[in-house]
């Protein structure tokens, strides 16, 4: 029984990270794009900068989850946006709950 479980786990689909599979195909289907996703919404101040320095271009940092944009990383995300290091976005989780996301740009690389 142990070997059939192992085989099943080896052939299972990759898990989703913030809505993305780790090896999604690009729009052209030619290149494999790895999308990193880091959630610092519950972390201490300074975690946003650390995450920004450790992720690649196109990587996503969830810096707050809530009804409106707030939290310890709001100013850092805004500052990184003004410097051209990230673009800011959000994703709706439920009726009054949103993920606020910073996406690293090529300039930030």
Please check whether residue 74 lies inside any domain of the structure: yes
% of the chain exceeding 90 in pLDDT: 56
Please check whether residue 23 lies inside any domain of the structure: yes
* pLDDT tens-digit map of 37-49: 899 999 998 999 9
Please check whether residue 71 lies inside any domain of the structure: yes
The model's pTM is: 0.67
Number of domains composing the chain: 1
Please check whether residue 6 lies inside any domain of the structure: no
How far, in Å, are 52, 80, 99 from residue 45 at the CA level? 13, 15, 18
For position 45, which CATH number holds? 3.30.110
Q: Which domain holds residue 69?
A: 14-108
CB 9 within 8 A of CB 1: no
């Amino acid at each position: 029984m142990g070997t059939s479980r192992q085989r099943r786990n080896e052939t299972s689909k990759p898990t989703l990270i913030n809505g993305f599979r780790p090896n999604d195909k690009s729009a052209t289907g030619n290149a494999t794009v790895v999308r990193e996703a880091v959630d610092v919404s519950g972390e201490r101040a300074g975690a946003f900068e650390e995450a920004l320095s450790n992720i690649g271009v196109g990587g996503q940092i969830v810096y707050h989850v809530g009804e409106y944009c707030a939290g310890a990383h709001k100013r850092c995300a805004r500052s990184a946006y003004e410097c051209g290091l990230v673009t800011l976005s959000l994703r709706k989780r439920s009726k009054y709950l949103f993920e606020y996301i910073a996406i690293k740009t090529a300039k930030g690389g």
